[in-house]
């Protein structure tokens, strides 16, 4: 099976256009607050400062742009940045805080604002959040999609990643790799989720491996959930977290994390509404598969030290099976493997070629089920079905690539409206 998707540079955490992260800025107005985290106060003061600039006319502070006086906006952004620094210690792990920090940085670059300079005067105290006045209930802090849609007037953006079979990894950026990874490797490692897959060889002396164990940690989320750990192994897919619970605990938003069993022992689904995430874990042919739909802001909430994530960058080059390794003689003939896979996967895309490889090496027709299920998860989870089928390229040039233009333009439009 060949590799599909974007060039490696596009799949890196730093490969997307810098302005794409400004999509997160509108989340500032709706994040929930820890009893000590003051991000809501910072948000409200920034909104108040920028509303006073409506119609332009402010000057000073440097910058370019129109609509809002750039100097006034730069002063407001410097004040906003100062406020976030003062509350940083008590806001670790807060999605609204993380969104604020990145949004401020992007807007300061966009408007050519210097980091040093005058700040905005403290605004008069007013309502903590727009839209939370009399007659309008505050957004549910543990309903990510509801909060986002209420503020943006549209659904949030989502990303999809999956690992199944040998394992084959489909990354957020539409890379598709067959990996030899052995031992424990992180699929995700961000401020809200940690997912680790442990793989071992499918047979003694084989380069091909399969996932035998999955560990998922849902990190403590203030008023929404206690930290929860889910661990699955081959022949042991529990219908509860490690502590025996089936939800996020006794906090007010505990029900925003829940486990559902579609097929006991073979199919578990975990819903994490507080971070806009759905995870599916399956067991087929003596191996586990993982599939996730996750909000963009959650998937990208990680530091430089957390850059090794198979869902973000795909398999490291040293861990990818070469074409010669993928085409070697297997337990059955390649014609038989192709025929078995073709029954459920009529399109000869990356899923089909993954299926052929797995069936060829293992000789087990049940591996066709893993590839078919992964394709159906992608069909349900991908926001753009044009990216459903990825095709291998002999020249190493992607035949299907992720398109970031539409969400980027949408984000810029929302930001322009925000500062008018």
Q: What averages of pLDDT result for each successive group of 10 residues across the chain (420 residues)? A: 42 37 38 59 75 46 42 84 83 77 85 81 45 56 88 88 93 90 90 93 69 95 90 95 94 93 92 96 93 94 86 89 64 90 95 92 89 96 92 42 34 39
List phi, psi (to 5°) of 345: -130, 75
Both tokens of residue 329? 């003689």
* 22 Cβ neighbours under 8 A, 6+ residues apart: 102, 103, 106, 107, 110, 411, 412, 415
In 3D space, the residue among 77, 79, 97 whose CA is nearest the CA of residue 87 turns out to be: 97
Domain ranges across the chain:
72-121, 158-316
- The per-residue pLDDT for 206 is 62
> What is the Cα–Cα distance from 265 to 237, expressed in whole angstroms?
5
- The per-residue pLDDT for 122 is 55
- The per-residue pLDDT for 136 is 52
- Cβ burial 64-100 (10 Å sphere, 16+ → b, else e): ebeebbbbbbbbbbbbbbebbeebeeebeebbbbbbb
- The per-residue pLDDT for 56 is 42
* Topology, domain 158-316: Protein Transport Mog1p; Chain A (3.40.1000)
SS3 at position 146: helix
Other Cβ atoms closer than 10 A to 270: 20
- The per-residue pLDDT for 158 is 96
> What is the Cα–Cα distance from 331 to 336, expressed in whole angstroms?
10
- Cβ burial 43-55 (10 Å sphere, 16+ → b, else e): bbbbbbbbebbee
- The per-residue pLDDT for 35 is 46
Q: Is the peptide bond before 242 cis (omega within 30 degrees of 0)?
A: no
- The per-residue pLDDT for 37 is 79
């Amino acid at each position: 099976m060949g590799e599909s998707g974007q060039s490696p540079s596009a799949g890196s955490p730093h490969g997307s256009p810098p302005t794409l992260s400004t999509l997160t800025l509108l989340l500032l107005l709706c994040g929930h607050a820890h009893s000590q985290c003051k991000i809501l106060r910072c948000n409200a003061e920034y909104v108040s400062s920028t509303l006073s600039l409506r119609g332009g006319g402010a000057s000073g502070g440097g910058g370019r742009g129109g609509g809002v006086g750039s100097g006034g906006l730069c002063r407001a952004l410097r004040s906003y940045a100062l406020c976030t620094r003062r509350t940083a210690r008590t806001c670790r792990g807060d999605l609204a805080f993380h969104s604020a920090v990145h949004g401020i940085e992007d807007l300061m670059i966009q408007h050519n604002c210097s980091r040093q300079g005058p700040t905005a005067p403290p605004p008069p105290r007013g309502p903590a959040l727009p839209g939370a006045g009399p007659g309008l209930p505050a957004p549910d802090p543990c309903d990510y999609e509801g909060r986002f849609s209420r503020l943006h007037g549209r659904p949030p953006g989502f990303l999809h990643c999956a690992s199944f079979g040998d394992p084959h990894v489909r990354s957020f950026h539409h890379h598709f790799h067959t990996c030899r990874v052995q031992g424990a490797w992180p699929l995700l490692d961000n401020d809200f989720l940690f997912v680790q897959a442990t793989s071992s060889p499918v047979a003694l002396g084989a380069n091909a491996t399969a996932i035998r164990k999955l560990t998922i940690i849902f990190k403590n989320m203030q008023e929404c959930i206690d930290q929860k750990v889910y661990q699955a192994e081959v022949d042991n897919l529990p219908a509860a977290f490690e502590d025996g619970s089936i939800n996020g605990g006794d906090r007010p938003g505990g029900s925003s994390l829940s486990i559902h069993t579609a097929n006991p022992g073979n199919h578990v689904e975990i819903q994490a509404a507080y971070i806009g995430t759905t995870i599916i874990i399956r067991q087929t042919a003596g191996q586990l598969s993982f599939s996730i739909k996750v909000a963009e802001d959650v998937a990208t909430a990680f530091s430089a030290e957390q850059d090794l994530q198979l869902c973000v960058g795909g398999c490291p080059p040293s861990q990818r099976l070469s074409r010669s390794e993928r085409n070697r003689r297997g337990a059955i003939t390649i014609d038989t493997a192709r025929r078995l896979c073709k029954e459920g996967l009529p399109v000869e895309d990356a899923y089909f070629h993954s299926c052929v490889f797995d069936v060829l090496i293992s000789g087990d027709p049940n591996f066709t089920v893993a590839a078919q299920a992964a394709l159906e998860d992608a069909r349900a989870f991908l926001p753009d079905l044009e990216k459903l089928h990825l095709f291998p390229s002999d020249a190493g040039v992607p035949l299907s690539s992720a398109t970031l233009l539409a969400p980027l333009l949408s984000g810029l439009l929302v930001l322009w409206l925000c500062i008018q």
